Structure 1
Amino acid sequence: MIRIVRGAAVGVAVALALTACGGSGDKSGGNPLDQKSAGGGGSGGVVVGSANFPESQLLGEVYAQALEAKGVKVTKKFNIGSREIYYDQVKSGAITVMPEYNGALLTTSVDKTSKAVTTDEVNAGLKAKLPTSLEILDASKAEDKDSVTVNSQTAAKYHLKSIADLKSVAGQLTIAGPSEFKTREQGLVGLESKYGLKFKKFQPFDANAQTTLVKLLKNDSIQAADLFTTDPTIAANKFVVLEDPQNVFSAQNVVPLVYKTGLNDTGRAALNAVSAKLTTADLLAMMTKVVGDKQDASTVAKDWLKQAGLGG
């Protein structure tokens, strides 16, 4: 996502940025990004991070609590920022575990020339090109893509079903999304190269301003937006996610990105167990609770882990 959203970030309550909580179990009093202060991989201590949008923070909670359920000491460092900010922190070992979306990770940080589309192709590309300090663990079935989503007025007016249908009208429309959407291949760059789209205007929005973005899309102040496909506000507002026949947005399976030497076998097994259980339906249901019902992400994560047989 892009997470962007990706991403790929959400909704009427998305103004809740689900702020970073201090590390649980961090008794060092030192820098929570210092691998030694966090306990190091050998002793089972890890730093679990998240990007600056609610779904990433929710997944960070799921990972952190799954690790803690297996006795792993965890420090949480959430709401770091976009991939352009946090990726180097994972690569250096300052962050041990990061919730990721495989397709966006590949094309934004690992291999910008990749043409991989399917989950298997994307995962193969990551395993071949990731720095030697990093690895991805098992990918889940849960998928959350960036999208070009339009309001119902725009869809009806221009008879839009596919991104390709925008070619003759994009010059009349304003599209909005996180600032990085403007420069990413899985963003405006790819939309222009694969569909020939040139929008009238791009309106950047901070990840914490999704509530405003959704409001503007609903009232037609903007006509299109990069929304994550698990965003509950899409259905709530009868927005239309346009089909993507040219695959600008590749597979976006949720996957743990790991600093290799920072995680032991117990930790790997705990995170792979999460991936084995997590589905897109699960992710949407959890995000509906966080966004629509305004439940705390840590509580939603705890309940899902218990239901999946992975937590207390």
Structure 2
Amino acid sequence: MTRMRRAVLVAVAGATLLLGACGENTERDASQQPQGATLRITIGTQEFPEALVLGELWRQALAVNGYTVNLRKGVGPAEDLDDALREGEVDGYVAYTGTVLSIVAGEEVSGLDPDQTYDAVEAWYESQGMVVSEQTPFENKDAIAVTDAFAEDNGLDSIADLADLDSFVLGARPEFEDLQLGLAGLRDVYGLDNAEFVPAELGTQYAMLDDGDADAVDAFTTDPQLRGGRYTLLNDPELLFGSQNVVMVVDEDKLDSIDSEAFMRVIDAVNAELSVDAMVDLNAEVTDGRSEGEVARSFLRRVGLMTPLRS
């Protein structure tokens, strides 16, 4: 065989292998998001455990779909995260709808249900050149908690029912007493002039209930202590505390550069799995000593999101 013929055969074989490889990968690649250095994004979070878990959930789900995510933990509260996004220090962040609407946008939140709050947040961010994902089913907002026994003994279902008591002791962080989204609002909206306020350090309120030092306390709807089923969260029919679902906020220009449809598909898929019970469990696992990364990984595996999504 001549040198020229041998070279031609090698070239043809190489081309055949290349075409074969393309054929073999077509189906597999169709189920994966695009790969490459352009699919990089920096996501910011606040410092508390729930926000860190959310950041890890998004980071890991995006990673298996071809994105490289720099997770900046503990950037600061909502105002700091918003500033960081505007200044290009992060491309997106973990946001609570009610906090964004009240603190960042400066709008009223009381009386708004989750969809109304989301619509207002989406419209406000659109005016700022930013995009929000779909919201989570769970909310993490202020609530009034009592023991199951106290609720049963006094026929309590909603915050309004507390007004029927002769008096009750309310334990909460010191600033809660004067907040409209606190005791001041509870008195205005629900007529709770029968509340005796006792200041408490954040994190000690459930011990106050257990020890009988308070009849009711300010709680948050995804507190890990709620996992045990020993406490009742009273309904807030007037939505005094507003709504606090979670969304991903992303800079619009950045989103356009990283395949916006594929990116939001991943974020929305994760968010859809985050019920109140799921988030309480995730928070409890972190409280029990597991790292946010481990907790997020286990959850994503359970719900089938540790493999690439199909388009």
- Given the alignment of the two structures, is residue 220 of structure 1 paired with residue 220 of structure 2, yes or no? no
Aligned twin of 2:236: 244
Shift of 1:100: 2.5
1:169 deviates by: 5.8
- Higher helix proportion (structure 1 or 2): 2
* TM-fit CA distance, 1:58: 0.8
Report the equivalent of 1:127.
Answer: 122
Give the 3 Å change call, closer, same or farther, for CA 77–108 of structure 1 in structure 2.
same
Which residue type is aligned with residue 125 of structure 1?
A: A
Spell out, residue by residue over 1:181-202, the C-alpha distance to the aligned partner (whole angstroms, 9 max, x if none): 5676544453243223455436
In 1, Cα distance between equivalents of 2:171 and 2:82 = 27
Please state whether the residue corresponding to 1:79 is helix, strand or coil.
coil
Quote the offset at 1:63 in angstroms. Answer: 1.2
Are the counterparts in 1 of residues 163 and 190 from structure 2 also a CA contact under 8 Å?
Answer: yes
Alignment-derived partner of residue 20 in structure 2: none
**Partner of residue 67 from structure 2, selected from 45, 68, 72:** 72
Cα separation, 1, equivalents of 2:277 and 2:229? 19
**Structure 1 residues 123 and 183: CA distance shift in structure 2, 3 A:** farther
1:148 paired residue number: 144
Matches within 5 A, 1:83-94: 83-94=78-89
Q: In the TM superposition, what whole-angstrom CA distance separates every residue of 1:232-263 from its partner, at most 9, and x where no partner exists? A: 31252622211112111333322212233334
1:65 deviates by: 1.3
Q: Which residue is 1:311 aligned to?
A: 306
- Structure 2 residue aligned with 1:7: none
The one of 272, 280, 288 equivalent to 2:268 is: 272
Residue by residue over 1:24-45, the C-alpha shift from the partner in whole angstroms, topping out at 9 and shown as x without a partner, is xxxxxxxxxxxxxxxxxx9333
Superposition pairs of residues 15-164 of structure 1, within 5 angstroms: 43-114=38-109, 117-130=112-125, 131-152=127-148, 155=151, 159-164=155-160
Between the aligned partners of 1:94 and 1:204, the Cα distance in structure 2 is 36
The aligned amino acid for 2:47 is: N
Q: Distance in 1 between matches of 2:45 and 2:178?
A: 22
State yes or no: 1:284 paired with 2:280.
Answer: yes
> Which amino acid in the other structure matches residue 239 of structure 1?
Y
In the superposition, relative to structure 1, how do residues 260 and 139 fare at CA in structure 2: closer, same or farther (>3 Å)? same
Deviation at 1:48, TM superposition (A): 1.9
How far residue 277 of structure 1 moved from its aligned partner, in angstroms, is: 3.5
CA distance in 2, matches of 1:136, 1:203: 37
* Alpha-carbon distance, 1:76 to partner: 2.0
Letter in 2 for 1:134: M
Aligned-residue offset at 1:163: 1.1
Gaps of 5+ in 1: 1-41
Which one-letter code corresponds to 2:43 in the other structure? V
Kindly tell me: are residues 258 and 185 of structure 1, through their superposed partners in 2, closer, same or farther at Cα, counting changes over 3 Å?
farther
TM-superposed CA distance for 1:85, in Å, is 4.2
How many residue pairs get aligned? The number is 265
Equivalent position of 2:189 in the other structure:
194
Distance 1:270 1:82, change over 3 A: same
**Which residue of structure 2 lines up, in the alignment, with residue 175 of structure 1?**
171
1:261 aligns with 2:253: yes
- SS state at 2:283 partner: helix
Displacement of 1:125: 1.0
Identity of aligned residues (%): 27
Contact 1:67 1:270 in 2 (8 A): yes
Question: What's the counterpart of residue 6 of structure 1?
Answer: none
- Partner residue, 1:12: none
Structure ID, larger Rg: 2
Q: Give a deviation string over 1:61-112, Cα, whole Å, max 9, x none.
A: 1011122222322222223443354343334432332222323432333242
Name the Cα RMSD after superposition: 3.2
- Please point out which of 209, 222, 225 is paired with 1:233: 225
In structure 2, the CA distance between the partners of 1:170 and 1:250, relative to structure 1 (3 Å rule), is farther
Mapped to 2, the partners of 1:178 and 1:44 lie a distance apart of 45
**Cα drift, residue 311 of structure 1:** 1.9
Superposed CA offset, 1:210-233 (max 9, x none): 2x3332332233443332223231
Amino acid at match of 1:48: I
The alignment's TM-score, normalised by the length of structure 1, stands at: 0.70
Q: CA deviation at 1:132?
A: 0.9
